[in-house]
């Protein structure tokens, strides 16, 4: 078997050269890391779940005109994506106070924010992804003011879509992180959503019980990470093919 050229290896994914120019293969590993890899475990099956959850979300975003790098699923762990120039920023959107925001500003976890808040972090593991302002972003040339406007509009669209999607299956979208890239098509450049959206990169709370259904289970040593990811997939109607009782597509959960 000929070995594919590995383009990049991150903490949870590997990128390989794709079958055609301008494409890449994104492989989802089973590695769970937190606190910049100080905590690291192999969680068997996580890669498959994140591949399928992320595929589901990106497919639907493509369908409603939110541009993404996603092309199609290749197998249980791999997807075909467009090659983009990753903007070295992590964009965090928050609806409810949690995690570093709650800690930094002394707000109780769970408090609904007065409005959705967008934050930017400089993607650099050695520096621990420090938070940066628009001033830093433009001064250091990571993105232009126009790029920042585009990124913020895109982030708000993703937030609205994801909040509604999860609400429909009884899950509250507390916050999430996305990455974006520049896609060049001839003379044109568009900013698109890249990387992944999965319970690794979102905070998801069950609406009824407030139970955490995301990577905080791993970060905070709560156990049950894989079961929680499985439940997110099940509610979204993903990978229910083997269960004749389960409908395919999102399972509507009624809340009071």
| Choices 13-21, 33-41, 158-166, 221-229 (CB under 6 A): range interacting with ligand ASP | 33-41
Q: Is 175 in the site for ligand TMP (CB under 6 A)?
A: yes
x/- mask, ligand TMP, residues 84-123, rule CB under 6 A, reads --------x-----xxxx----------------------
Asked if residues 67 and 183 have their Cβ atoms less than 8 Å apart, the reply is: yes
Q: What distance lies between CA 119 and its chain's CA centroid?
A: 15
**Residue 51: closest CA among 93, 71, 79, 18:** 79
**Residue 7 tokens, joined:** 């383009």
CB of 229 to ligand TMP, least distance (A): 14
Residues 159-218 that bind ligand ASP (CB under 6 A): 215
User: In terms of CB distance, is 36 or 255 closer to ligand ASP?
Assistant: 36
**Is the Cβ of residue 18 or residue 29 nearer to ligand TMP in the bound state?**
29
| Residue 179 structure tokens | 């990455």
Which residue's Cβ lies closest to ligand ASP? 33
Task: Compute the least distance from the CB of residue 191 to ligand TMP, in Å.
Answer: 19
Rule CB under 6 A: say whether 198 interacts with ligand TMP.
no
Task: Determine the Cα–Cα distance for residues 235 and 254; give it in Å rounded to an integer.
Answer: 12
Beta carbons within 8 Å of 44's beta carbon, 6+ residues apart? 30, 226
Q: Which is nearer to ligand ASP, 35 or 241 (CB)?
A: 35
CA-nearest of 213, 180, 220, 217 to 198 is 213
By beta-carbon distance, which residue lies closest to ligand TMP? 99
- The percent helix, strand, coil of the chain (3-state, each to 5) is 30, 35, 40
CB hemisphere CA count around 89 (13 angstroms)? 29
Q: Which stretch binds ligand ASP (CB under 6 A): 29-37, 203-211, 224-232, 235-243?
A: 29-37
**90 strand-pairing partners:** 121
Which one of residues 34, 167, 207, 251 is an interface residue with ligand ASP (CB under 6 A)? Answer: 34
Chain positions contacting ligand TMP, by CB under 6 A? 92, 98-101, 129, 175-177, 201-203
């Amino acid at each position: 078997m000929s070995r594919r050229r590995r383009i990049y290896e991150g903490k949870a994914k590997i990128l390989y050269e794709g079958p055609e120019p301008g494409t890449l293969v994104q492989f989802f590993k089973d590695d769970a890391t937190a606190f910049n890899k100080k905590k690291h475990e192999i969680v068997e099956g996580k890669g498959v779940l994140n591949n399928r959850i992320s595929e589901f979300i990106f497919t639907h975003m493509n369908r409603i005109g939110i541009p993404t790098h996603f092309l199609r699923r290749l197998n249980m762990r791999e997807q075909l994506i467009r090659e983009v120039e990753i903007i070295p920023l992590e964009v965090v959107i928050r609806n409810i106070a949690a995690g570093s925001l709650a800690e930094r500003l002394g707000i109780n976890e769970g408090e609904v924010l007065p409005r959705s808040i967008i934050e930017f972090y400089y993607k650099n593991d050695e520096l621990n992804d420090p938070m940066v302002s628009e001033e830093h972003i433009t001064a250091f040339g990571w993105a232009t003011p126009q790029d920042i406007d585009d990124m913020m509009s895109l982030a708000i669209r993703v937030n609205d879509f994801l909040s509604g999607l999860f609400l429909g299956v009884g899950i509250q979208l507390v916050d999430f992180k996305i990455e974006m890239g520049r896609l060049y098509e001839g003379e044109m450049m568009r900013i698109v959503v890249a990387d992944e959206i999965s319970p690794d990169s979102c905070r998801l709370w069950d609406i009824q019980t407030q139970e955490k259904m995301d990577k905080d289970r791993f970060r905070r040593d709560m156990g049950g990470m894989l079961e929680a990811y499985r439940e997110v997939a099940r509610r979204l109607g993903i990978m229910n093919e083997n269960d004749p009782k389960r409908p395919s597509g999102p399972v509507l959960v009624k809340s009071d």
